[in-house]
């Protein structure tokens, strides 16, 4: 029973639950990015090139017996995913910086007495 209790305490710690949520959200985000790359970006970029080569699918590319189309498709997908993630992280960092930038305090408003004293000081310096 002691081991079961320890496991329960471990599994219900905040870090483990946060990690589980991050994995689930990451998987969902991965599916969105994969769909974006496979269904939107890659066809837009590669459609004209494939039409000129007389191919319907990039995976049909081959050089003799070596079919390098799948590899090329994976490399292109990786580059596009990396670029999209770079833009996403760059945007998040810029938003974070905007929130963290301290607002410069406004100069204090001087009373009439303080302004007169500053004028006297300035005239004495001359």
Can you give the length of the chain in residues? 126
* Residue 37 reports pLDDT greater than 80: no
* Residue 36 reports pLDDT greater than 80: no
Neighbouring CB atoms inside 10 A of 37's CB total: 20
Q: Give the C-alpha separation, 70 to 61, whole Å.
A: 8
Q: How does pLDDT run across 70-116, given as a tens digit for each residue?
A: 888 788 778 877 887 788 889 888 887 776 666 677 777 888 888 88
pTM: 0.47
DSSP the chain: -HHHHHHHHHHTSHHHHHHHHHHHHHHHHHHHHHHIIIIIIHHHHHHHHHHHHT-S-GGG--BTTB--HHHHHHHHHHHHHHHHHHHHHHHHHHHHHHHHSPPPPPPPPPPHHHHHHHHHHHHHH-
Domain ranges of the chain: 2-101
As a whole number, mean pLDDT of residues 51-55 equals: 78
Share of the chain above pLDDT 70, in %: 93
Question: Token pair 């599916």 is at which residue?
Answer: 31
């Amino acid at each position: 029973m002691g081991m079961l209790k320890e496991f329960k305490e471990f599994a219900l710690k905040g870090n483990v639950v946060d990690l589980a949520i991050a994995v689930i959200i990451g998987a969902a985000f991965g599916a969105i990015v994969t769909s974006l790359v496979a269904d939107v970006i890659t066809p837009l970029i590669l459609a004209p090139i494939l039409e000129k080569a007389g191919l319907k699918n990039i995976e049909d590319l081959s050089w003799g017996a070596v079919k390098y189309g799948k590899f090329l498709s994976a490399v292109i997908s990786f580059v596009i995913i990396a670029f999209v993630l770079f833009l996403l992280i760059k945007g998040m960092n810029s938003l974070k910086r905007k929130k963290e930038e301290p607002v410069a305090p406004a100069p204090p408003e001087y009373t009439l007495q303080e302004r007169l004293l500053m004028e006297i000081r300035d005239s004495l310096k001359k």
